[in-house]
Amino acid sequence: MVDEFSLIQSIQPKEKRHKDLMTGIGDDAAVYRTDHHAEQMICMDTMTEGIHFTSATMKAYDIGWKALAANISDIAAMGGFPDYYLVSVAMPSEWSSEMKEMYRGMEDLGSMFQMDLIGGDTTSSRSGLVITITAVGHAEQGKVFLRSGAKPGDLVFVTGYLGESAAGLALLLKDIDINDQKAKHQLIKSHQRPMPQVEAARLLRGIPSRFAVNDISDGLASEANEIAEASGVTININYQSLPVSKSLSQLDAHDQRRFMLSGGEDYQLLITAPEENSEVLRDVFMKHGVLLTKIGVVTRGRPEVYLIDKGTKTLLTKSGYNHFKSNKE
């Protein structure tokens, strides 16, 4: 069986039939122009019972929230603001009483960004719940952040904290345990109710600069490799610079490391920006109380990612989540 990324590569259309299509397959969302002032963007993400959640890890409310969060996150990663969403649900009969709760989760998150639910589809399922959301957003013309926008000399930043979601999942699955109940609650919340970084995208849009952005669904290592490949650059990440939350610091060092590098589902933004704009970038994020951490640099070279840990440099491969591949370390 081929892995997820090669499979997607193999279905890439050879030509664009509409000149208004700017970006199709290969980024967080597709972008096309509808008038001279705005770019439209559209994306789709699915959550499947047994793969993205089980009855032990997520309640119906959380499933709705997180499915929409993953889509909003892709719009944010393109520099957009989310506007509309459509929901397709394939549902085993035992889930039907939970449908309202799932929509309440979506509504609670969607209303924060004034999103309208505009349609969808419903079918029965004989093998678990599947929810697919399509989100539509917009950005000002010329303000779209592509994965291909990184250049040698840029600095690499990340919003928020990494690894909390994967730690929360490990706690829910009882793979690990910690005594600090407050930290445990926080990590589990990060897994069940991630907050997409719409505010960070808004702040970036206000800064006149070039940015490459990717949201972290499959893990830092994987997403950094996607920017390196799309931009044709080398990304160097300093392990000691990664932001460790107070809650994650309760875990042992090995768990912290694997969750931060390849845990995934953090829905934070990985950003590259020219060094000359980095001061204003830091100032703007600081002023608005959005955590932004410098974690590395972009250099000329092969499209690869290196991790520098106390002076030792190692190749960081796409070690994150990959459908159709074993995700065990």
Positions at the binding site for substrate = 52, 265, 321
Q: Which is nearer to Mg ion, 217 or 234 (CB)?
A: 217
> Among the candidate windows 25-33, 88-96, 176-184, 313-321, which touches ligand ADP by CB under 6 A?
25-33
Options 164, 218, 255, 265; binder of Mg ion; rule CB under 5 A:
218
In degrees, rounded to 5, the angle at the alpha carbon of residue 73 between the alpha carbons of residues 218 and 29 is 85
Q: Tell me the backbone φ, ψ of residue 229, rounded to 5 degrees.
A: -70, -45
Q: Count CB-CB contacts under 10 A for residue 76.
A: 29
Distance CA 189, CA 183 (A): 10
Among 39, 49, 154, 215, binds Mg ion (CB under 5 A): 215
Stretch that binds Mg ion, among 73-81, 125-133, 148-156, 275-283 (CB under 5 A): 73-81
28 near Mg ion, rule: CB under 5 A: yes
- Least Å distance between CB 323 and ligand ADP? 9
Q: Does 45 bind ligand ADP (CB under 6 A)?
A: yes
74 binds ligand ADP (CB under 6 A): yes
CA-based R_g, the chain, Å: 19
- Binding residue (CB under 6 A) for ligand ADP from 40, 159, 165, 217: 217
Residues at the annotated binding site? 28, 45, 52, 74, 103, 120-121, 147, 215, 217-218, 265, 321
Q: Cβ of residue 23: shortest distance to ligand ADP, in angstroms?
A: 8
Helix/strand/coil for 52: coil
Rounded CA-CA distance 325/328 in Å is 9
| 164 vs 218 by CB, closer to ligand TPP | 218
Q: 157 — phi, psi (to 5°)?
A: -130, 160
**Cα–Cα distance between 127 and 50 in angstroms, integer?**
10
DSSP secondary structure string, 211-263?
-EEEE-SS-HHHHHHHHHHHHT-EEEEEGGGS---TTGGGS-HHHHHHHHHHT
Tell me how far, at minimum, the Cβ of 225 lies from ligand ADP, in Å. Answer: 12
Closer residue to ligand ADP (CB): 45 or 229 = 45
Which of ligand ADP, Mg ion, ligand TPP, none sits in contact with 53, Cβ below 5 to 8 A by type? ligand TPP
Q: What are the distances in angstroms from CA 143 to CA 26, 282, 290?
A: 18, 19, 20
User: Least distance from C-beta 98 to ligand ADP, angstroms?
Assistant: 25
Longest Cα pair distance anywhere in the chain, in angstroms?
57
CB nearer to ligand TPP: give 197 or 236: 197
Site for ligand ADP, rule CB under 6 A = 8, 11, 25-28, 45, 74, 217
